[in-house]
Structure 1
Amino acid sequence: MTSGAGTLAERWRAVRPPVAGLHVDSAACSRQSFAVIDAATQHARHEAEVGGYVAAVAAAPALDAGRAAIGALTGLDSGDVVYTTGANNALDLLLSSWPAQRTVACLPGEYGPNLAVMAANGFDVHALPTDGAGRLDVDAAARQLAADRPSLVHLTTLASHRGVAQPMAALADVCRSLDLPLVIDAAQAFGHLDCAVTPSAIYSSSRKWVAGPRGVGFLAVRPDLAQRLRPRLPPPEWGLPSGVLERLEQGEANVAARVGYSVALGEYLAAGPAQVGERLAEVGAMTREALADVKGWRVVEAVDEPTAITTLQPVDGADPQQVRAHLIAERGIVTTYAETQRAPFEMALPVLRASPHVDVTEGELEEFAEALAAAT
């Protein structure tokens, strides 16, 4: 996104197609900019003109720029970054390459699909200690990890079912002091919170707060961890000369989506990560204040939680799935229905989630509150 007149919110909205209704669902999938859409389209056209593999070679500088941006935003190097099809794919690539004993420590509210990937790869899961809000208790975790060392520590910095920011930097310090590999799921945190904590590995998707295309993400692995990995494909016993990260990234790829992601990363950096983060914290507070008095719902997060994810629990029997469908059909308002499978060891009831981006207005949040009250 180029700099210019207007606030961050105004500039963010100006470079995107007009929204059909009201989009408060960026934690699921943000709205792409004209430049991102055009970049992916132009690459697809180039594939038709010169062939997909020739076009992929020509796109290498754009893809390298994307890797450099990811490196800068995670505290790693561009050479540590591989593109994936998304966050789940990244975690599966990493865990399936783990050569040693398979135990992992993570939060009790771990994302359900992540737990499924852990189970599929034979990992035994140990729960980390948390407080009453589901936030990691760093001191208790340090004691637990020192006494009972897992193979890996995994932290989902910002959950899918609750907008509570986890103490990522503090846990990174603990893991460094104990020489434990820390893997960070930044699917909701990347482009939202400061992720430059130099973990052993970090992964995310493109489509959320950075507002890239669907079907692309990244996995970044620090060299000391990468050298321990043994990717399944091709079989290690073949002794082929390709490196670990090259083997992790092999296979069919939607290069057009990766090019679009690189452009979205450039726009995010141009907007200013600190400024975007500050605005998203403001948006979260605005959203919770607007929804605080809607009858039939309880806002889960504290008003000053520094995230733009607001979770609404039904208190009088409302069905979040039906309410979401009604809001879309009748008002063009897009939210998320978060079922209990998102955090199967923590959630007792499904919730409704609102996650507007930096360009939301107070008037739109008032409209959302009114529509939610009517739908309930």
Structure 2
Amino acid sequence: MATTKATAMAHPEFPLDPNLVYLNHAGVGTWPQRTRDAVHRFADECLHRGAADYPNWLEAEDRLRARLARLMGVAGAVSDIALVPNTSAGLSMVAHGVTWQPGDEVIINDQEFPSNRWVWQSLARHYGVHVRQVRLSDGATPEDALIDALTPRTRLLPISSVQYGTGLRMDLERLSNACRERGVLLCVDAIQTLGALQLAVDADFIVADGHKWMLGPEGIGGLYVHPRVRDELRIWQIGWHMAEDLGAFDRPDWDPAGTGRCLEPGSPNLLGSHALEASLAVLEDVGLAEVERRVLTNAREAMEGVRRHGFELVTPTEADRHAGIVTFRVPGADPERLLAALRARDVACASRCGGIRFSAHFYNTAEDLEEAWRRLQACLAAE
């Protein structure tokens, strides 16, 4: 297959295979060149010097915490960031760290990824928590459906900032205000926002893995715990790295760190930290506002393509109701067969909500999207 115009214009940090159209950042994102180089350097250092320069490695951790804090909109709370293996681990730390009372209630919804449903449903058999699922379509707005479901027993509301299937973008400010007024804890799964759009929300917990829009590896992410609730969170994973007096191995007593590090029980993922820190540096060099502008431009371009080709758009078109995800259905086409055909033609995307999900990042171009549509039409013609 010949090199397309889209790949010829590729961003220098993303030297992708010239035949590939990559539109799956809501699944697993690509790595920047800088990230690959950081991993290469770290591997060489481990090969030639072992851990002789371990203090330098911890500096990469510090830089990563600071970048995650800025991305989460809590730049002044760097010490409140815990580095976690993934979103599910962070959600589990919250779900099983809150001190529950029988009869407490958690409100979940019908559009969440399993990681943000199952962990809360597990509370019923462990702590007697009542977990109630609502349909986001049952209210005048999705937020109305959730707010109307809150009761005096509601202890926590978990919500994804952007729903992984439909691409629905939630009004986090409204949900935050409602939770504050009612004394309800708010836990935001921000994996479909961080790295794509800027985030600003007064939440008790924010968590995300780095392997999607943040363009990092799997196995490293961030969990923000607001200081107002950290002391109430039960710590159930214990290890040397979470001690206040880090490195005082001979002390007979110990206390958990008074920062987010209290949620990091053992040896850190330093390889992942080096990689994700490099990826976030790329995003910050472009500028988070500029990244958001380009992501939204690409989303609008993709929506226009859906309309132009006569497909059914699943993702909301309102400017404040979508982020980088664009999901659509092709009438008469089986989504799984169509996905397989697109992958065979080197279009990386996903199948969600009975349709196809495109998720273009800031470095994708209008030509990338046009090439994806051309190949999709070729798939349909071959049926």
- The Cα of 1:304 is off from its aligned counterpart by 4.3
Does the aligned pair in 1 maintain the 2:313–2:329 contact within 8 Å?
yes
Provide the rounded CA distance (Å) in 2 between the counterparts of 1:225 and 1:185.
17
Structure 1 residues 72 and 362, CA, compared in 2 at 3 Å: closer, same or farther? closer
- The Cα of 1:154 is off from its aligned counterpart by 0.9
Tell me whether 93-102 or 9-18 shows the greater mean CA deviation: 9-18
1:113 paired residue number: 115
Provide the rounded CA distance (Å) in 2 between the counterparts of 1:200 and 1:233.
20
Structure 1 residues 313 and 124, CA, compared in 2 at 3 Å: closer, same or farther? farther
Q: Deviations over 1:198-232 (max 9, x none)?
A: 31110011111121122211111011111101121
Say whether residues 1:87 and 2:103 are aligned partners.
Answer: no
- Shift >6 Å, 4+ stretches: 9-12
Letter in 1 for 2:298: V
Provide the rounded CA distance (Å) in 1 between the counterparts of 2:141 and 2:324.
16
- Structure 2 matches for 1:139-218, cutoff 5 A? 141-145=146-150, 147-218=151-222
Q: Deviations over 1:253-303 (max 9, x none)?
A: 4311111111222221221111211221111110011122435x4111244
Structure 1 residues 132 and 373, CA, compared in 2 at 3 Å: closer, same or farther? farther
Does the aligned pair in 2 maintain the 1:129–1:137 contact within 8 Å?
no
1:260 paired residue number: 275
Tell me whether 211-220 or 121-130 shows the greater mean CA deviation: 121-130
Provide the rounded CA distance (Å) in 1 between the counterparts of 2:118 and 2:94.
14
- The Cα of 1:334 is off from its aligned counterpart by 0.6
Does the aligned pair in 2 maintain the 1:73–1:196 contact within 8 Å?
no
Structure 1 residues 259 and 10, CA, compared in 2 at 3 Å: closer, same or farther? farther
Does the aligned pair in 2 maintain the 1:289–1:303 contact within 8 Å?
no
1:71 paired residue number: 69
1:346 paired residue number: none
Does the aligned pair in 2 maintain the 1:16–1:32 contact within 8 Å?
yes
Provide the rounded CA distance (Å) in 2 between the counterparts of 1:56 and 1:176.
42
- Return the index of the structure with the highest Cα Rg: 2
RMSD over equivalenced CA pairs, Å: 2.8
Say whether residues 1:243 and 2:241 are aligned partners.
Answer: no
Provide the rounded CA distance (Å) in 2 between the counterparts of 1:370 and 1:197.
39
Provide the rounded CA distance (Å) in 2 between the counterparts of 1:276 and 1:61.
26
**TM-score computed with the length of structure 2 as normaliser:** 0.83
Letter in 1 for 2:12: A
2:295 paired residue number: 280
SS of the equivalent of 2:168 reads: coil
Provide the rounded CA distance (Å) in 2 between the counterparts of 1:143 and 1:335.
35
- The Cα of 1:109 is off from its aligned counterpart by 1.3
1:24 paired residue number: 23
Q: Deviations over 1:107-139 (max 9, x none)?
A: 33122222122223445322356347995234x
Tell me whether 304-313 or 152-161 shows the greater mean CA deviation: 304-313
Structure 1 residues 259 and 134, CA, compared in 2 at 3 Å: closer, same or farther? farther
SS of the equivalent of 1:126 reads: strand
Structure 1 residues 19 and 273, CA, compared in 2 at 3 Å: closer, same or farther? same
Provide the rounded CA distance (Å) in 2 between the counterparts of 1:55 and 1:170.
47
Provide the rounded CA distance (Å) in 2 between the counterparts of 1:34 and 1:225.
39
Provide the rounded CA distance (Å) in 1 between the counterparts of 2:9 and 2:374.
27
Provide the rounded CA distance (Å) in 1 between the counterparts of 2:292 and 2:179.
25
2:56 paired residue number: 58
1:332 paired residue number: 346
**TM-score computed with the length of structure 1 as normaliser:** 0.84
2:243 paired residue number: none
Identity %: 22
Provide the rounded CA distance (Å) in 1 between the counterparts of 2:136 and 2:116.
19
1:363 paired residue number: 367
Letter in 2 for 1:45: D
5+ unaligned residues in a row in structure 2: which ranges?
A: 1-6, 240-251
Letter in 2 for 1:313: R
Letter in 2 for 1:57: P
5+ unaligned residues in a row in structure 1: which ranges?
A: 1-8, 339-348
Match of 1:270 among 277, 281, 285: 285
- Structure 2 matches for 1:343-354, cutoff 5 A? 350-354=354-358
The size of the alignment, in residue pairs, is 351
- The Cα of 1:57 is off from its aligned counterpart by 3.0
Letter in 2 for 1:86: N
- The Cα of 1:10 is off from its aligned counterpart by 10
Letter in 1 for 2:178: V
2:245 paired residue number: none
